[in-house]
A and B are shown apart, each in its own frame.
Chain A
């Protein structure tokens, strides 16, 4: 299954007989030129837009570079400055909160709704569309603007509270204690895309497991804990890994809701927002590169932890 499954399969490698290997080699030489012809655009893109820039940004992260003068090698200066950069630490705190709260919340809602929808539900296509739509719109500036209004002082939320007689005067997006939560809610609102993946996964679980468990007298709770959850765990893992990677890179919503500042008082200063400010507002390309590499290291670490922990809870049926 999935890109992640493919990656872990590659590591184990296939065992093959010498004959198979010889046959493969023959085929390989025949297809070799065609293979590289078809792959050419991707290979050019890989080196020109991925590997090349990665190496360049690795070098730049050890320099001082403002786009006008040529890069000035400064060794570990950027790293030292990052250690003492209070706003960087704030941005890390904000981003970790967003990821560690927003992603699990979103996945729990996605899984809950997917379970509700799965059981031969009447009206499934309708519900699925309604829940899926927000995740297709959620990344747009339009929705971020809407959020800015909804959670404003006279926004929709407060209007509704007032309609019920609550004296609501807090502007959530302009209050340092609440602004980040409005963004987390926006993330949860887009639970549709993991939900759809869960639905596809639930459909793969063979009915016979439920039948066998029911014959053995399993109750609903046991069916969920002993059948559904283990068999769905690869899909949960897939969603978890991809959503964490994605959430670390969130930008648009925080930018629009805070008017580009990451405010109030840096309470929505996502890491990417701060990186943008350093790189493309202050043109400190060296520092921004160093920040980008720190982000890569953080994301890689999270992914590695996920893969490591997967051994203990992800169950592969095959």
Chain B
């Protein structure tokens, strides 16, 4: 950690303490601004709708749980139906990404094959490719095969490593694993698949965790793909279910909407809470040197 203050000379005086206090005050104020809307939404989800529109504060006189009961049953199916739908898509996406991206990453990081540099450059470029350029033909194809209103368009591409960002992340990680380990295994007669499954996979668990967490967060919140492929209400994922509150209640039942919004944010929050370490590690591997 670089401490510029201490470099200019030791000055543990009142002025520097004041400065430090000022910095903390600034950061605490910024934290409050950032977090206030979230806490307010949580508190508001426990208030009757008409109170939500009158109360900017955070105090609660009573816990009004009706929003949650109402919200859970406001749509054609109970809300857990949509949670299960989202769960299926997320599980498929996570498994698909971990499998396909780690295979490709092993090839790029450890194997020398013809045109590798070209494929690697293409892979890097696809990270930056806007999704919209491929969405129309993809839709046409999935539509032709009758896969609209199934989860396949949301899950199948993940099994083919289309999220190139994770391939790159894993390549970076595998490059950091000492080659001596695979060399030793190779001398012992291990083929590439054994090296991959027995040596590389166990060692790259942190990278797999990072990829799994990012995939979870992005897939759970993904709205655009669901909106395009899932038009039958029974197939709705959580983001689509939330959107349909706007239509179902003509956007007026804010209590129920906030309650289900909170429900939809809980998994994200938990994953963030327990997975933050891996998210930060992942950023250090891809964003840093």
Contacts and interface: CB of A to CB of B under 8 A. Distances in A.
Interface of A: 1-3, 6-7, 10, 24, 27-28, 30-46, 48-50, 52-54, 56-57, 60, 67, 113, 116-123, 127-134, 136-137, 139-143, 145-146, 148-150, 154-156, 159-160, 163, 189, 193, 196-197, 200-205, 207, 210-211, 214, 220, 223, 235, 238, 241-242, 245, 248-249, 251-252, 255-256, 259, 272, 275-276, 279-280, 285, 288-289, 291-293, 295-296, 299, 303
Contacts of A259: 246, 251
B132 A50 contact: no
Rank and list the top 4 A-B pairs by shortest CB-CB distance, nearest first.
A45-B160, A35-B113, A142-B261, A38-B107
Contacts of A272: 132, 224
Contacts of A248: 130
Given A163-B56, A241-B128, 14 more contacts: A3-B128, A30-B112, A35-B107, A38-B106, A53-B138, A113-B27, A122-B24, A145-B245, A146-B41, A200-B287, A248-B130, A255-B227, A279-B139, A296-B132
B157 A45 contact: yes
Interface stretch (B72-80, B87-95, B263-271): B263-271
Contacts of B223: 139-141, 251-252, 255-256
B127 interface: yes
- Tell me whether chain B's interface is mostly helix, strand or loop, or mixed: helix
B196 interface: yes
24 contacts: A2-B287, A31-B113, A38-B192, A38-B196, A39-B107, A60-B137, A119-B2, A127-B31, A129-B276, A139-B223, A140-B265, A142-B262, A142-B265, A150-B37, A159-B55, A196-B283, A201-B287, A211-B7, A235-B287, A251-B223, A289-B136, A292-B135, A296-B129, A296-B130
A133 B274 CA distance: 12
Interface string B185-202: 000000110001000000
B2 A200 contact: no
Contacts of B108: 39
B207 interface: no
Contacts of B137: 52-54, 56-57, 60, 289
A1 B143 CA distance: 40
Interface size bracket, B side: 35 or more
B272 interface: yes
Contacts of A210: 2, 4, 7
A31 B112 contact: yes
A128 to B, nearest CB: 8
A67 B135 CA distance: 14
B100 interface: yes
Contact of B268 (A140, A146, A201, A279): A140
A78 to B, nearest CB: 12
Contacts of B217: 136
B123 to A, nearest CB: 7
Contacts of A142: 242, 261-262, 264-265
Contacts of A119: 1-5
